[in-house]
């Protein structure tokens, strides 16, 4: 087995080239790869009501015998966004896993830059959907993905996360009872040390957390507010060193997307010894959650 290993800010991305070439040999082989993640034992059921009594249609789709919902193999899944073929999705996942810049991916795949940004957003939302605190993130205003109404208000201040690292595993734990303004309050009134990378602010230890982290204008209410404390304990964390470098390279993270980037860092770090393509593919093949349904 031949494997490419790319060193990236102390984390390793592994891609098995022999397996990847086999998967991308044809659209059929690429599609079969994704289908294995979509349907256990290739047993189809209705995505709307879970009924297994289905009718085959002439165009290749299926129709539910109970509720009448008509669907194809990737309906209601993240994979159906962007109108990529299965081979295109595999090539995108390879380049995304290797952390190639979106503009370069667009050039390599010969698709528009806007489409690549949409694909990257889709992957990140699929990653969030796998998180244990996904429901709380949706309650905080994060859009789950296609099929759900877009948020009526843009997120100005990102939710607050607590960082834990145990045994080489990182956890970015959403703290719904805290807001960005609380971090500022702790700093000004209780001398909680803070530092920043771009607009992202992180803190000294808080309770069981190595640091709190958030992003948004509420953390920067006036010019005299500085987040420039040195030698915070979290700086010694391998995960935070990795995440901090990635956030710095992004050159500006909007508050509305900060949770997506943080959860991506969490998954990349925790999967650093794995081939990332199957990990991302499994997330993409999941059904898009519908919290309000």
Residue 88 resides in a domain: yes
260: in domain = no
Q: Are residues 14 and 88 located together in one domain of the fold?
A: yes
Tell me if 177 sits within 8 A of 211, measured CB to CB.
no
Evaluate whether residue 146 is within a structural domain: no
Q: Which of 291, 270, 255 is nearest to 160 (CA)?
A: 255
* Contact (Cβ atoms closer than 8 angstroms) between residue 44 and residue 62: yes
C-alpha to C-alpha distance for 92 and 113, rounded to whole angstroms: 12
Percent of the chain with pLDDT over 70: 94
> Tell me, what's the pLDDT at 67?
96
Q: Would you say 114 and 274 are in contact if contact means Cβ atoms under 8 Å apart?
A: no
Domain hosting 195: range is 156-255
Helical ranges in 130-237 per DSSP H: 134-139, 180-190
What are the residues whose beta carbons fall under 8 Å from the beta carbon of 217, sequence distance 6 or more? Answer: 156, 157, 255
Kindly state whether residues 67 and 186 are assigned to the same domain: no
Q: How many CB atoms lie within 10 A of CB 284?
A: 26
Q: Quick check: is 221 in a domain?
A: yes
Which one, of 97, 84, 78, lies nearest residue 282 by Cα?
78
CA–chain centroid gap for 70, Å, is 29
Cβ-contact 59, 86 below 8 angstroms:
no
Q: Is residue 4's pLDDT more than 90?
A: no
Nearest to 147 by CA among 94, 91, 218, 71: 71
**How confident is the model over 255-290, as pLDDT tens digits?**
999 999 999 999 999 999 998 999 999 999 999 999
Q: Give the pLDDT confidence of 235-260 residue by residue, as tens digits.
A: 999 999 999 999 888 767 889 999 99
pTM: 0.90
Q: Report yes or no on 266 lying in a domain.
A: no
In a domain, 145, yes or no: no
Tens digit of pLDDT for each residue in 61-104? 999 999 999 999 999 999 999 989 999 999 999 999 999 999 99
Indicate the number of domains in the chain.
Answer: 2
Check whether residue 54 and residue 164 sit in a common domain. Answer: no
pLDDT at residue 13, rounded to an integer: 54
Is the same domain home to 132 and 10?
A: yes
- Tell me, yes or no, whether 16 and 95 share the same domain: yes
Asked whether residue 73 falls in the same domain as residue 196, the answer is no
Q: Do 114 and 50 share a structural domain?
A: yes
Averaged pLDDT, 166-184: 95
Q: Based on the domain organization, do 10 and 112 belong to the same domain?
A: yes
**Is residue 290 in a domain?**
no
């Amino acid at each position: 087995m031949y494997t490419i290993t790319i060193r990236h800010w102390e984390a390793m991305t592994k891609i098995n080239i022999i397996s990847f070439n086999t998967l991308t040999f044809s659209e059929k082989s690429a599609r079969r790869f994704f289908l294995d993640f979509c349907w256990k034992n290739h047993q189809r059921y209705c995505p709307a009501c879970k009924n297994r009594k289905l009718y085959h249609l002439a165009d290749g789709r299926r129709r539910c015998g109970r509720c009448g919902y008509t669907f194809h193999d990737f309906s209601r899944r993240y994979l159906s966004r962007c109108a990529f073929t299965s081979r295109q999705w595999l090539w995108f996942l390879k380049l995304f896993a290797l952390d190639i810049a979106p503009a370069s991916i667009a050039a390599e795949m010969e698709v528009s830059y806007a489409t690549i940004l949409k694909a990257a957003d889709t992957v990140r939302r699929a990653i969030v959907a796998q998180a244990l605190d996904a429901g709380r993130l949706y309650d905080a205003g994060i859009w789950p993905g296609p099929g759900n109404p877009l948020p009526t208000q843009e997120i100005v201040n990102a939710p607050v996360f607590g960082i834990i690292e145990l045994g080489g595993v990182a956890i970015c734990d959403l703290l719904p009872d805290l807001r960005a303004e609380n971090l500022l309050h702790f700093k000004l009134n209780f001398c909680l040390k803070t530092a920043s990378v771009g607009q992202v602010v992180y803190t000294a230890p808080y309770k069981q957390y190595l640091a709190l982290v958030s992003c948004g204008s509420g953390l920067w209410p006036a010019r005299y507010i500085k987040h420039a404390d040195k030698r915070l304990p979290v700086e010694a964390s391998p995960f935070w060193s990795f995440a901090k470098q990635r956030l710095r390279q992004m050159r500006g993270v909007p508050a509305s997307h900060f949770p997506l980037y943080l959860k991506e860092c969490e998954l990349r770090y925790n999967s650093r010894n794995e081939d990332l393509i199957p990990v991302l593919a499994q997330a993409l093949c999941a059904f898009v959650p519908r919290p309000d349904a």
